[in-house]
């Protein structure tokens, strides 16, 4: 104890020896951090600023609109159909999240808490799918959903084609399994004495204490589904076009209408932004602890 | 680990009555009935076991069906497709011909493979020797310089032959991917490390800064790419041109510029050494902008794990801030740096969304990376057989990188 105090004092004196240098260091530190923050933020500022300009203003050298043109958003929403795409993306995202939660909670519980033959093999195969680039799976999956491999009809441009293939992934199962394994066995023993089976133990004891990893799974499922691009691009045409595909197509359809394009971009960003601001702790912690999702 | 073993020992015990759970000598006393307890045990156990098995298999079924149908089966099917002359309509079985057309000849392929194998072997042997000698020499790599040269010769011999006789656009897309990797991975890791280190200091608004740096990573790549399209436009009043105008530079064509960067700077270089096009560099800037935040978050968690005492001890010895950073922070973070390097490198081979959105026809083939080229080959030219063969080549490269990552992670010398 005494020793530590002496040490801390000692460190304190070393640090205090050069106040001018320390202040200079602080200035440099904050300058670098602020420049970094400006670079991170600038594209977002530019997006919002341009979305509120008139068509003429976007073609001039201006930083801000003279009068914010809020009706750009209404125009992008209805005329450029971003409203329709927004609803599609929302439904697809919710459907995917629900699917992922059901499949991964059940599977993670089985892998974490029940010993069964083939468990290691199946889990390893699951993990192996995380390495496979989308380039490999894209073409066969296109045949799959067109009913060429399994005769279940053509799913092209439906709700199912955008959700079902993504309703289970190794990452979510892995994340939940890690957590479910830490639930003490005593709880299971107690539950079993009370006559509870696996399903009741899972829903009434395990799930209520697993909110943290479940939120992480929801966050990743949300960004994954909302940001998805290459798959929706090839399997949707009109009816189920998602926001990202709509935005990409609008790049060529809009021509010079940058203000509408930017309004669409802001619309596509808002749900992610809202979610991020409210759950950023879980977001960053989820990434730091899993390190996955490169 | 511990969880599993305790589960194992307990599981058979629970279904039986408490008496049987208890000490073994009780069984010894009842030696005439020795056969009975095990049979009861077995019956109880098997009933619970059957319930467990049914539960387990029914719980994993939904996930198994989806992951098998859309994650595992496609790998096998892609390989099957790559063996067929498949353009829109399924054609004849042609064996490895699609692959042969990519490489030009098998001879080329084996030269390239040999080059890679020699390099890996050299590294492996060096690692083993160092371990055997039980010391780390700064100059031991010198001994392996000739081997590296040999591997380089083998590789470039095979590669240049491939470029002549093989599928040149695909091979060029691999070169573009390499440019993209070399331009983004080290830069984003260094910037990420520096920012994480600065954020780890005693500063105000730490959370706020982290939130801002992380923003580009979580926002949809398509959205931010669309904004980058406008920022790096070729018009004289685009943000990028206005910015370089501050330094008195002439406007550039940015993402429309297909000329290699060194040529653009007035140097007379051709081929690989002329570097990536300015258009590809714009895509690299986007990549760095996006992924720095991810690296910051991972590094921050690593910084939190460095014991404070190490810093304190070094400070007492009068170490400067730079010495602390160089001799404590960097070595302690080296496993994370290695992890991030490999993850990002593998990521560059998968990268698609932002490249696809940022590319324009006038930038030509100079911005087409491997995954984008495969997509075009399939989506626009509907050459399914060839495209799947290329995707299998890409998959093999990623598998190789993952293998190296795992091997080196296991062998890694911590204070490298």
The secondary structure of B158-204 as a DSSP string is HHHHHHHHS-HHHHHHHHHHHHHHHHHHHHHHHHHHHHHHHHHSS-T
B160-169, pLDDT tens digit by residue?
899 889 999 9
Give the pLDDT mean for B245-252: 88
Is the pLDDT at B289 greater than 90, yes or no?
Answer: yes
Mean of pLDDT values over A247-266: 86
**CB-based contact B47:B11 (threshold 8 Å):** no
Return mean pLDDT, chain A.
Answer: 88
Q: Model-level pTM greater than 0.95?
A: no
User: Regarding predicted confidence, which is higher, B24 or A155?
Assistant: A155
Per-residue pLDDT band for B25 (boundaries 50, 70, 90) equals very low
Q: What is the mean pLDDT of chain B?
A: 83
How distant, in Å, are the alpha carbons of A10, B312, B322, B324 from that of B317?
11, 9, 14, 11
**pLDDT, tens digit, 9 for 90 and up, residues A66-119:** 889 999 999 989 888 899 999 999 999 999 999 999 999 999 999 999 999 999
Residue B134 falls in which region: left (phi positive, over 0), alpha (psi -120 to 50) or beta: left
Using N-to-C axis directions, what is the helix angle for B330-350 and B168-200, rounded to 10°?
A: 150
Strand ranges inside B168-300, DSSP E: none
- Closest approach of B74 to chain A, Cα-based (Å): 5
Put simply, the answer to whether A247 touches B222 (Cβ < 8 Å) is yes
Q: State residue B13's pLDDT score.
A: 38
| pLDDT at residue A1 is higher than 60 | no
Q: Looking at beta carbons, which residues of chain A come within 8 Å of B241? A: none
How many CB atoms within 10 Å of residue B77?
A: 19
* Contact criterion met (CB < 8 Å) for A115 and B379: no
Of A115, A133, A227, the CB nearest to B220: A227
Contact B214 A50 (CB under 8 A): no
Closest CA to B327 of B310, B341, B340: B310
To which residue do tokens 């629970």 refer?
Answer: B14
For B87, phi then psi, to 5°, come to -120, 110
Residue B207's pLDDT band, with cuts at 50, 70 and 90, is confident
Q: Please give the Cα distance from B342 to B331 (Å, whole number).
A: 17
d(CA A255, CA B72): 41
Phi, psi of A9 (to 5 degrees): -60, -45
Does residue A174 carry a pLDDT above 80?
yes
Q: Region A198-215: what's the mean pLDDT?
A: 91
What pLDDT, on a 0 to 100 scale, did the predictor assign at position A290? Answer: 67
- Using the structure block, give the residue that is written with the tokens 């095990």: B38
How close is the nearest chain A Cα to the Cα of B292, in Å?
Answer: 9
Instruction: Please give the residue that has the higher pLDDT: either A274 or A16.
Output: A274
Q: What average pLDDT does this structure show over B117-135?
A: 75
């Amino acid at each position: 104890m005494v020793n530590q105090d002496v040490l801390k004092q000692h460190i304190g004196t070393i640090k205090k020896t050069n106040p001018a240098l320390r202040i200079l260091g602080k200035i440099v530190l904050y300058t670098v951090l602020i420049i970094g923050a400006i670079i991170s933020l600038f594209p977002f500022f530019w997006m919002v600023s341009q979305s509120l300009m008139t068509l003429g203003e976007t073609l001039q050298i201006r930083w801000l609109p003279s009068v914010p043109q809020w009706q750009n958003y209404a125009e992008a929403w209805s005329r450029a159909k971003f409203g329709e795409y927004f609803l599609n993306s929302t439904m697809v995202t919710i459907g995917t999240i629900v699917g992922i939660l059901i499949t991964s909670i059940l599977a993670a519980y089985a892998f974490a808490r029940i010993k069964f033959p083939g468990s290691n093999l199946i889990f390893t195969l699951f993990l192996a799918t995380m390495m496979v680039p989308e380039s490999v799976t894209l073409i066969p999956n296109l045949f799959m959903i067109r009913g060429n491999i399994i005769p279940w009809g053509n799913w092209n441009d439906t709700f199912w084609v955008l959700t079902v293939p993504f309703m289970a992934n190794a990452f979510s199962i892995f994340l939940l399994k890690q957590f479910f394994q830490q639930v003490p066995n005593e709880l299971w023993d107690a539950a079993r004495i009370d006559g509870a089976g696996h399903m009741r133990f899972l829903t009434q004891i395990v799930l209520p204490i697993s909110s943290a990893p479940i939120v992480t799974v929801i966050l990743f499922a949300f960004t994954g589904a909302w940001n998805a691009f290459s798959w929706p691009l090839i399997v949707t045409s009109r009816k189920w076009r998602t926001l990202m595909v709509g935005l990409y197509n609008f790049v060529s359809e809009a021509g010079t209408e940058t203000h509408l394009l930017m309004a669409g971009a802001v619309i596509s960003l808002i749900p992610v932004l809202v979610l991020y601001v409210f759950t950023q702790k879980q977001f960053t912690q989820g990434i730091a602890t899993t390190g996955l999702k490169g | 680990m511990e969880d599993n073993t305790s589960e194992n020992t307990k599981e058979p015990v629970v279904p039986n009555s408490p008496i049987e759970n208890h000490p073994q000598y009780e069984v010894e006393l009842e030696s005439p009935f020795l056969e009975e307890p095990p049979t009861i045990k077995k019956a109880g156990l098997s009933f619970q076991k059957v319930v467990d098995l049914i539960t387990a298999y029914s719980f994993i079924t939904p996930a198994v069906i989806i992951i098998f149908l859309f994650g595992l089966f496609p790998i096998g099917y892609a390989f099957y497709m790559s063996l067929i002359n498949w353009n829109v309509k399924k054609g004849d079985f042609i064996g490895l011909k699609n692959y042969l057309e990519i490489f030009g000849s098998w001879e080329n392929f084996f030269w390239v493979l040999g080059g890679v194998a020699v390099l890996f072997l050299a590294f492996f042997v060096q690692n083993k020797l160092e371990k055997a000698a039980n010391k780390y020499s700064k100059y031991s790599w010198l001994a392996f310089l000739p081997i590296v040269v040999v591997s380089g010769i083998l590789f470039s011999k095979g590669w240049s032959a491939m470029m002549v006789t093989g599928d040149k656009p695909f091979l060029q897309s691999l070169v573009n991917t390499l440019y993209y990797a070399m331009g983004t991975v080290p830069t984003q890791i260094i910037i990420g490390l520096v920012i994480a280190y600065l954020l780890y200091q005693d500063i105000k608004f730490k959370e706020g800064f982290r939130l801002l740096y992380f923003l580009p990573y979580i926002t949809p790549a398509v959205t931010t790419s669309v904004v980058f399209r406008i920022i790096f436009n070729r018009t004289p009043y685009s943000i990028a041109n206005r910015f370089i105008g501050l330094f008195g530079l002439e406007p550039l064509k940015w993402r429309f510029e297909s000329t290699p960067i060194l040529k653009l700077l007035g140097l007379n270089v051709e081929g690989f050494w002329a570097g990536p096009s300015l258009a590809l560099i714009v895509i690299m800037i986007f990549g760095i902008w996006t992924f720095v935040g991810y690296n910051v978050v991972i590094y921050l968690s690593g910084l939190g794990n460095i014991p404070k005492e190490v810093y304190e001890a070094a400070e007492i010895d009068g170490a400067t801030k730079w010495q602390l950073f160089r001799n404590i922070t960097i070595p302690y973070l080296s496993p994370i740096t290695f992890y991030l390097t490999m993850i990002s490198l593998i990521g560059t081979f998968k990268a698609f969304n932002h490249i696809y959105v940022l590319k324009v026809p006038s930038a030509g083939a100079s911005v087409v990376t491997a995954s984008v080229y495969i997509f075009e080959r399939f989506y626009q030219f509907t050459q399914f057989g060839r495209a799947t063969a290329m995707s299998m080549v890409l998959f093999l490269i990623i598998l190789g990188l993952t293998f190296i990552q795992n091997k080196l992670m296991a062998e890694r010398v911590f204070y490298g």
